[in-house]
Each structure stands twice: as structure tokens, then as C-alpha cells.
């Protein structure tokens, strides 16, 4: 265990490509101190864990000023971030508006996930980040290895089933993981913001431009396997995609959907901060979903599919195999250019259960995290869903 990263001022946000990248840090302190208290009084302990394929992940456990991490009584909740994000995504606003702080204040045992490749996870037992092999993964591995290991760890510490909260790619990971019997047995319920299992109706102009221009293949041809959109090569590449083809003057809307509830005046400040990396293979897997309209494992091509899977096409993740008894809550928006309403309906049709739904007509993709009204519009409903599932304590 170690200290948690430093508490930044509210709204340290920036974004580049396909989803927002969020600048991080909510706790800091003396490295010799396994727990740390932030200026706002929230305590945090950082745990490290190793996946089956050797990646070292950071997992933070957060408690409100009135809580005690050594004797945490609330139900465990795992917060799983989206693409080009890390655990910072849940703490960027004020304590009254950020979901991570809200859940801690409500007495939940808050655990914050950080997948491989992000700045808050710690590499690999044998591979360097400069090696191609380090970046040989997609959201498939994030679901079946990273998320699975986080759940195993939390379950072993708390001896309790876990509430999962996911946003964007975090919902892709969650839905894929929940199709696996050995993973879903550790989960009490899932709350999914902008739920994604299908992407064939994406309408974001810049994303569609990237898909049409085969950005994934372009960067591989340049010998790039790590997606870091603060590098000069990739920044210039994205600029060329916008130039004369896509109106990127409102960069946020060109990626995530129309803005309803976001303070644009902070934009220059947000862009001073570096995004979290991902892998080119991950981007390729997402682009496969857009091109093929599937929710499947990574497609290597016919020959390697035969070698990897024993069949011509990659196996699908069967949403119908998610237990009907598992409580699900989903919130989605009418202005979301990534988790399109049609694709959300496709997901709902394949699920054996009927999730509780919260539809917000004017919300785009990122506003489920960063709306100035999300606490009232969304998070109060989510907390109510979790409360309805808690077993009453005996007196």
C-alpha cells in the first residue's frame, strides 16, 4: 500500500480523441505513510495488485472525513473509469458534486480502479513501457484481467459482494466481465453511465473521421503502439484529421456530443494537463466495434482467430448470459454521440433482465461525469438504487 496522488483544484480536465482524458490526483502525502488525509479531510489508502498477465495496478480506497478506512462499514463500491481516463475522473469537481466524494459521504466503501497503462498504475513485472509487448492489450484484457483482479482483491479484503459503477469504456469492461460466471459471482449490482456494448451508431464527427481514415492503422505504420495524444506526432495527426474535414472548434462536441452543462471557460486551463495513455490495440478493438457492429473479442483476422479461438470469427460476449437476478441500473443521454440511444436499446434487448433506466435528453457523453448538475440529475438516483439493495442491519 502507498499514498494516493495529490488533490488538484476542481475541474483539472482536458481531452483528446474519442473520449476525454482527465488530469489526475486527489490525495498526496508522505510516501512512508500508507494512508493519507487530503486537505478536505478524505482519507485514502493505495493498494497495488498484479493481474494474471503481470500488470501492476493501483487501487485506491477512499473514506469520508467521518469514516475510518481501518473499520469501513459501508458496502464496497468499485468506480471504473473510461478511455484515456484514470481514477481521477470521479474526483475532479467539488466534494458536493464529484461521485467519488458523494459515495464516500454516503458511507459507502469506495474503491477506485486504474487500468494498465494509466499514470496511476505501475507497469509490468517484466515488460517496460517502451516495449511493444507492454501495449498488446485491448478492453478485452481490461475486462477479463484488470477488472476481474480488482474485484477479486476487494472481495478478499471486504468479504462482501461489490457494487460496480462504470462510465463509457468502464461499462464495456463491466458488461463483458459480467458475462463470466467466475466474475459475476463477486458482484452485487452494477450502475452504468453511458452504457456501451455496441458502437455501430456512433455519430461523433471526429471519431467517425478517425475510423474512416483508419487512424489505428496509420499509427501502427508509424511504429507506435502506445496512444499518447500529448506526443507531437499524434497531436499533429489529429490536427490533420480536423483540418478542412471536421469542425473541431468545439472539440468536446466533435467527440462526445452537444454541451449542456459544462463550463467551457476553463478549457485552456484543462489543456495544460497531460492525458492518460492507452494502447493502439485498444483503439483498434473499439474501431472494430464501430465497423462491424459487434460486441466480441478482438478480431485478429481469420488465420490468427483460428489459432487463438479455434474459429474463424472472434467469440461474442453474450449479454444474455448475465444473470437475470443481477440488479442493473443505467443512465444515458439524448445528446450522447458515443453511446447512441439506438445502441443502448440494442444492449437492453439482449439483456435477460430489465435494468432500471434514467434517460436525460440533453446530456452528452462526458456530462455524466462533469455536469454541474450531475449530483442532482444522476447521482442521487444511483445512490437510491444502491440503497434499495442494501440489507437492513440487525439491531
Could you list the active site residues?
Answer: 168, 336, 365
Query: CA-to-CA distance for 299 and 293, rounded, in angstroms?
Result: 13
Backbone angles phi, psi at 179, to 5 degrees: -80, -10
Query: CA-to-CA distance for 67 and 70, rounded, in angstroms?
Result: 9
Alpha helices in 213-336 (DSSP H): 215-221, 232-242, 251-256, 267-270, 280-292, 302-309
Nearest Cα neighbor of 168 from 195, 203, 197, 141 is 195
Nearest Cα neighbor of 255 from 272, 275, 238 is 238
DSSP letter at 317 equals P
Query: CA-to-CA distance for 341 and 335, rounded, in angstroms?
Result: 9
On the CB side of 209, CA atoms within 13 Å amount to 19
Nearest Cα neighbor of 139 from 193, 215, 66, 85 is 85
Query: CA-to-CA distance for 358 and 281, rounded, in angstroms?
Result: 32
Residue 252, classified by CB atoms within 10 Å of its CB into exposed (0-12), middle (13-18) or buried (19+), is buried
Grid cell listed for 168: 463509457
Strand, coil or helix: 328 = strand
Q: Distance from first CA to last CA of the chain, Å, rounded?
A: 34
**Residue that has been written with the C-alpha cell 439524448 in this structure:** 334
Q: How far is CA 378 from CA 97, 169, 191, in A?
A: 11, 19, 11
Contacts of 10 (CB under 8 A, 6+ apart): 92, 93, 94
Amino acid at each position: 500500500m502507498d499514498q494516493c496522488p495529490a488533490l488538484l483544484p476542481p475541474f483539472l480536465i482536458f481531452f483528446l480523441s474519442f473520449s476525454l482524458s482527465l488530469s489526475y490526483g486527489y490525495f498526496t502525502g508522505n510516501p512512508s505513510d500508507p494512508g493519507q488525509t487530503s486537505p478536505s479531510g478524505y482519507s485514502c489508502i493505495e493498494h497495488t495488485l498484479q493481474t494474471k498477465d503481470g500488470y501492476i495496478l493501483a487501487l485506491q480506497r477512499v473514506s469520508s472525513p467521518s469514516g475510518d478506512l481501518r473499520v469501513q462499514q459501508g458496502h464496497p463500491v468499485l468506480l471504473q473509469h473510461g478511455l484515456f481516463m484514470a481514477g481521477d475522473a470521479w474526483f475532479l469537481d467539488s466534494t458536493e458534486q464529484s461521485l467519488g466524494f458523494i459515495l464516500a459521504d454516503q458511507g459507502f466503501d469506495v474503491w477506485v480502479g486504474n487500468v494498465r497503462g494509466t499514470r496511476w498504475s505501475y507497469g509490468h513485472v517484466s515488460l517496460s513501457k517502451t516495449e511493444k509487448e507492454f501495449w498488446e492489450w485491448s478492453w478485452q484484457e481490461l475486462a477479463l484481467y484488470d477488472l476481474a483482479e480488482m474485484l477479486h482483491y476487494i472481495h478478499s479484503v471486504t468479504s462482501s459482494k461489490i457494487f460496480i459503477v462504470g462510465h463509457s469504456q468502464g461499462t464495456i469492461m463491466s458488461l463483458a466481465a459480467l458475462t463470466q460466471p467466475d466474475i459475476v459471482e463477486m458482484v452485487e449490482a452494477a450502475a452504468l453511465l453511458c452504457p456501451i456494448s455496441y458502437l455501430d451508431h456512433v455519430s461523433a464527427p471526429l471519431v467517425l473521421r478517425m475510423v474512416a481514415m483508419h487512424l489505428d492503422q496509420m499509427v501502427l505504420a508509424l511504429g507506435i503502439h502506445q496512444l499518447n495524444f500529448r506526443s507531437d506526432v499524434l497531436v499533429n495527426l489529429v490536427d490533420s484529421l480536423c483540418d478542412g474535414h471536421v469542425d473541431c472548434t468545439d472539440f468536446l462536441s466533435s467527440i462526445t456530443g452537444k454541451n449542456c452543462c459544462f463550463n467551457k471557460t476553463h478549457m485552456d486551463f484543462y489543456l495544460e494537463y497531460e492525458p492518460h495513455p492507452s494502447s493502439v490495440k485498444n483503439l483498434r478493438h473499439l474501431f472494430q466495434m464501430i465497423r462491424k457492429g459487434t460486441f466480441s473479442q478482438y478480431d485478429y483476422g481469420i488465420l490468427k482467430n483460428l489459432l487463438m479461438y479455434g474459429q474463424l470469427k472472434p467469440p461474442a460476449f453474450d449479454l444474455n448470459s448475465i444473470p437475470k437476478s443481477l440488479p442493473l441500473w443505467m443512465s444515458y443521454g439524448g445528446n450522447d454521440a458515443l453511446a447512441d440511444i439506438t445502441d443502448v436499446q440494442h444492449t437492453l434487448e439482449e439483456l435477460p433482465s430489465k435494468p432500471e433506466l434514467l434517460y436525460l435528453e440533453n446530456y452528452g457523453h462526458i456530462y455524466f461525469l462533469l455536469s454541474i448538475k450531475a449530483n442532482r440529475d444522476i447521482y442521487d438516483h444511483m445512490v437510491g438504487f444502491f440503497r434499495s439493495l442494501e440489507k437492513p442491519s440487525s439491531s
